Every structure is written in C-alpha cells, then in structure tokens.
A = this chain, B = another copy of it.
Amino acid sequence: MPQQDQTTDLVLREALEANGQRFTEQRAAVYRFLASTDKHPTADEVFLAVRSEVPVISLATVYKSLETLVGCGLAMKLTYGDGSARYDGRTDPHHHARCLSCSRIFDVGGHLPPEELDDLEEGTEGFQVTGYRLELTGYCSRCGKEQAEA
C-alpha cells in the first residue's frame, strides 16, 4: 500500500473512532477514492470505481459508507437538479462551478470575506448561521466552445 494511502487510512480511522464508528476495508476504499479525485462522483460512480479495486462491495454499502463519511465530516454531499446526489472529498472551504450543459462540477478556490457574510446574516432574523454554500453556474470551457461553434 502506498505511503499516501496509509496516511489517508489513518485520517479515516481517527475520524471514525471520534464518532464511535469502526474502521472497515469498505469504508477505507470509498474514502481513498473520494480523496484521490477532484471529480464529484455520484454514489454509483463511486461504486463502479471502488469495485475495480475491492471486488466485493455492494452499492448499498457504498451508500452507507458515504453517509458515514459525511457524518464524520470527511465528505460533503452535494445535490443538483439532475437526479442523483454527488459527493465531494474536499473538506476545506471552497466553492463549485456547475456546467449547465454537461452537469460536471469544478472546484473553485477562495472564500467570501467575513463582512459579506455578516451583511447577509443581518437579514435572517434569528436564523443562526453556521456555514454557507456557494455555487457558480455557467458553461465549462468544453461546452462553451461547442456553443460558440454551433
């Protein structure tokens, strides 16, 4: 097992134990895949990818594992209008850009300055804000090109 995977496994083990959950090979495989990609796969895509490394895993287990990871703060669940949920292994503050044509998700760095959030919170009347999610919509370079050519 590569050095990097050992580190990843350790992170996972500690997060699981902190939440009173057990470390299992299936959860590790799901987490390793999520941590290794900058894509934002659906549960089914995770299943297909993981199955090629850990042949014995079921789709239901992938769903359960993903929810466990989300519960431990090691992944984020993203939902868009296209039917299935997507999962993101990055937990540092960042945003997403979603292509309206091909539905792929891209990472965007940076974060809003605190004063902007304060301004927004002013209008919330007793709503206690703990976080936020920002998503740009538009067309990725590939789809934008196709549009221009059409």
Q: Does A53 contact B (CB under 8 A)?
A: no
Q: A85-B81, A126-B144 are in contact. Are A135 and B133 (CB under 8 A)?
A: yes
Q: Does A129 contact B (CB under 8 A)?
A: yes
Q: Does A61 contact B (CB under 8 A)?
A: no
Q: Can you tell how many copies of this chain the complex includes?
A: 2
Cβ–Cβ < 8 Å partners of A136 in chain B = 120-121, 124, 127, 129, 131-132
CA–CA, A108 and B117, complex, Å: 12
- Given A99-B127, A128-B144, 16 more A-B residue pairs with CB atoms under 8 Å apart are A79-B79, A79-B81, A81-B85, A95-B120, A97-B129, A100-B130, A112-B112, A124-B136, A127-B136, A127-B138, A130-B137, A131-B138, A132-B135, A132-B137, A133-B134, A134-B134
